[in-house]
Amino acid sequence: MLFSAVLSLAACASLASAHAILLSPAGRTTGTQSSVSGEGIKIPRFPVPSSLVSASGGCVDSTAGAPALTVAAGGSVPVKWAITIPHQSDPGVRIALRFPGETQFTIVKDKINVNDLTATVSLPAGKSGMATLQWMWATEEDGGFYVACSDLNVTAPKPAPKPTPKTAPKPTPKTAPKPAPKKAPKKAPKKAPTPTPKAAPKPAPVPVDNTPIVMPVVLPPAQVPDASEIVLPGQ
């Protein structure tokens, strides 16, 4: 009875010993990682195999689940963990990220002292989508490492709110040099020249001839009465 209990303990010891676990953002609960929420999984190998930083091996056998955290691209993520069995930290805790389409994790923080129990990582500004955060504590003294992954929903920055239409500075219309208005020479309204009243030509003064016109008087021949006609008084 005791013997079998020791045997089963020994069988588990290589995989499931409590040393450190990821608390936040919450780790996956699928595959071997399901125990991460309990004691943590020691992967008894050292150094950390390169397969762990590849897309396939970075999270042991866990699969992506619902996002544990939604965060904006370029934001920061506080990562927290707990130590269940202390060991010397070195080389320490490492945090890496993998975004959709990427085949490798990118280390964003490394060699963190496990006793810090927390670290804040900054997300790159230009990446978004369902990202995977990998948390790992490697401890040489313990001869192995602990790994846990968490799924993050990294949201793309909202399309900049339409800038309140700053009355876009109207492109200063190239002041097309206005053709200087040809000063239309003001046509001085031709004042119909007031006809200078032609002084009626004074009739040339008729030279006054004072010489008395002597009209020849033609006197009728004096009528001499006929003697016969003379009536004498008394006759």
Ligand X SMILES: *[C@@H]1O[C@H](CO)[C@@H](O)[C@H](O)[C@H]1NC(C)=O
Residue numbers at the binding site for ligand X (CB under 6 A): 67, 70, 130, 153, 155
Q: Nearest distance from residue 127's CB to ligand X, in Å?
A: 14
C-beta of 89 vs 128, nearer to ligand X: 128
- Residue 79 CB coordination number (10 Å): 22
Report whether 20 contacts 142 (CB < 8 A): no
Report whether 121 contacts 135 (CB < 8 A): no
C-beta of 67 vs 91, nearer to ligand X: 67
Q: Which residue has the tokens 């006929």?
A: 226
CA atoms within 13 A on the CB side of 163: 4
Please choose, from the candidates 133, 152, 179, 125, the residue with its C-alpha nearest in 3D space to the C-alpha of residue 22: 133
Q: Nearest distance from residue 175's CB to ligand X, in Å?
A: 49
Q: Nearest distance from residue 135's CB to ligand X, in Å?
A: 20
Report whether 96 contacts 79 (CB < 8 A): no
Please report which helix (H) or strand (E) contains residue 3, including its range: helix 2-13
Cα distance between residue 207 and residue 63, in whole Å:
146
C-beta of 15 vs 156, nearer to ligand X: 156
Q: Nearest distance from residue 69's CB to ligand X, in Å?
A: 10
Q: Nearest distance from residue 101's CB to ligand X, in Å?
A: 16
C-beta of 117 vs 130, nearer to ligand X: 130
Q: Which residue is nearest to ligand X (CB)?
A: 153
C-beta of 158 vs 174, nearer to ligand X: 158
